[in-house]
Structures are given as structure tokens and as C-alpha cells.
Amino acid sequence: MRKLVLTACLALASQLASAQQLPRTELTAGVHLIHAEVADNFVTRMQGLMHRPSLGVNDGMLFIFDEAGIQCMWMKNTLIPLSVAYIADDGSIVNVEDMKPQTEDSHCAKKPVRYALEMNVGWFASRGLRSGARLRGLEKYKPK
């Protein structure tokens, strides 16, 4: 009985942690407004958008890494198809990768970056945003 209660408590704690509200920020890509949750530490970056059934049309998640590197994403336990844009410090998109849900395939930046933005699959392509396009709003996250 004790083991069952402990397991239930751990499951509830995990659900509460994943339901915890992350800070939000607004970014722009030309005329397009993006509402992004900010994942800026190890725990929130690892959780990402896992287990979510949907994502709003202009909603996404901005991943901020401690330092520039060849960042990679995967979709284990992620239920919705996503596109990820890897973004340089100047706000320019380095590359965009489409990702299939519930896979462990790695999708990596083509050069070292500190930022990645996940949106619904096709969001960047449908707005003509590809390598070289600039996003605004990252200035507040630049390293000091």
C-alpha cells in the first residue's frame, strides 16, 4: 500500500511540474507576432513541449542555452509535429528543421547557436521564414 501511495505522489508531482507556468515572451518575425514560453534552464529545456496535445497557432517555446553550441532537439514524448528554428545571437535563423512526433531522431543546428524556437510544423515555411530571416525580441536574453 505504501509503495502505491508513493508512486501516486510521484506521478502527481511530475504532473504538477509539467503543468507549471513558464515565463512568456513575445518575439516578432517581420509582421508575425510569436507568443513563446521560455525554457531557460536544464529542467525546462528537457521537458520542452512533451505531453502537450496541441499548441496555439502563433504559440511556441523559446529554448535558451547557457552557451552557443551545436544544439539538437528530439521529439520523444512530444505529441504534436513541430518545426524548430535554430537562431544565432543576432536573431538570424541559421536553419529550420521539421520534426515528427514521438521519435528519437536528432535535429541539429548547422552551426553553434544559443537559441532555438519550436512552433507548429510548417509555421516558418508558411510565412516564408528560412535561413537568414531575423527575429526580434531576443535582445533581452543576450549574454552579458
**Number of domains the chain contains:** 1
Enumerate helices (H) and strands (E) in the chain, giving the number of each: 3, 8
Q: Among 15-19, 23-27, 46-50, which stretch is predicted with the lowest mean pLDDT? A: 15-19
Q: Is residue 12 part of a domain?
A: no
> Residue 82's closest CA among 108, 54, 63?
54
Given a cut of 90, whether residue 20 has pLDDT beyond it is no
Q: Is residue 75 part of a domain?
A: yes
Q: Is residue 1 part of a domain?
A: no
**Environment class of 13 (CB within 10 Å of its CB; exposed 0-12, middle 13-18, buried 19+):** exposed
Where in the sequence is the domain holding 75, given as residue range(s)? 22-141
Label residue 12 by pLDDT band (50, 70, 90): very low
Mean pLDDT within 129-142: 94
How large a percentage of the chain has pLDDT more than 90? 83
CATH code for position 122: 2.60.120.1140
Tell me which residue has cell 499548441.
55
Label residue 21 by pLDDT band (50, 70, 90): confident
Q: Among 7-16, 102-111, 132-141, which stretch is predicted with the lowest mean pLDDT? A: 7-16
Q: Is residue 129 part of a domain?
A: yes
**Environment class of 53 (CB within 10 Å of its CB; exposed 0-12, middle 13-18, buried 19+):** exposed
